[in-house]
Structure 1
């Protein structure tokens, strides 16, 4: 049985004190006894708090990830953060392709391809997001969209190169809207994604691939999603900002 991956994506929320308090409260709970050992916990705070967060969780079963980095290793890019900078403070996990990065910051498949190359160069574990808009699903193009997003990015790499990776399916229409896909809809898409990896890389890679759901999971519906055969965890947004809700998701 594969471990479930539960990721808290805090986006542009929480200041220094909030971040430290949340993580310390999580550490105070005897996670090893309360939470199934088959669950992997990843917290993605804002850039300024990555270093201290990583130091605090050292030796625990909590991991720290960055929400983004630039698609170049260095250069005259005011305000940007490189993979090498993150690597230098012990960060080796990264969220790439989130719909907010694609839509708000106009990250194209070409930019994401460059970021994947950088991530692989620095041996980062990649949480790669894919997802369709409401119009694309309404017009029955959701499977085509997901296949295209993978074909232009992840599928450019070899079996060996994509060993340290998971996919997060996050339908754009279900992020921060309070609307969720049904467990059946999510299972159907996750099965399709796994099938695409089967076609591209074979059964061994497909079976091992972890596919997370990232569309408005909360403490009430998490168990229904996690019980689906091809749902291997969740990329949690709003519900990860409330300690009690996030803990209930971990216990789901």
Structure 2
């Protein structure tokens, strides 16, 4: 039977002549195509449907997890930035162990703030992108995937930028914390013994132990965000498999269309 004689509701489509493979009507809907006669094609179609469901579920879970972790990383670091900006110009008299008094702030002299600002920027951008992708995903999968391509500029470096960006940011943030007894960065300073010695003087401005823990939570969420990037590898692997499966379906469907 020529392809032009097949009723529209039973035709198979792809590319310019055919629509997407996903819109193909099951072969069993056309009386001339017996499922028993084409087990390979029907098996491919079932495999494609299963992969499609898995990919969609994993993408949703991945976006939910990424958003939750972005929030967990952003809120603590935002609290730290706010606390520093509102207290770094507050001076108090501090009595040293040698009996002298100095006029100083609660923070280290010449504080190294760029690691905290860098981490804050990464967390903020990730939060905005993850929230935008999830909202659009709930409204339209197609639109969300389009938004996802915008996020790729930030969160996908080569294959999986989420892993790279968060690993690098968390690594630098953690490295700068290790500054001995008198570290310069904000996280390291709040955890340092030197800060603990002046806690009583600045008790109304900063709770150093609290903000040491707060920043540790933010860093832990960043590490988890990087680790969650491996889920994207699974999604990518299944997406590649599904693309090959769709190509095989398209190839066999073309042959059968010509045959009938």
**Per the shorter chain, which TM-score range?**
under 0.3
Decide which structure has greater strand share: 1
TM-score by length of 1: 0.21
Decide which structure has greater helix share: 2
TM-score by length of 2: 0.21
Q: Which has the larger radius of gyration?
A: 2
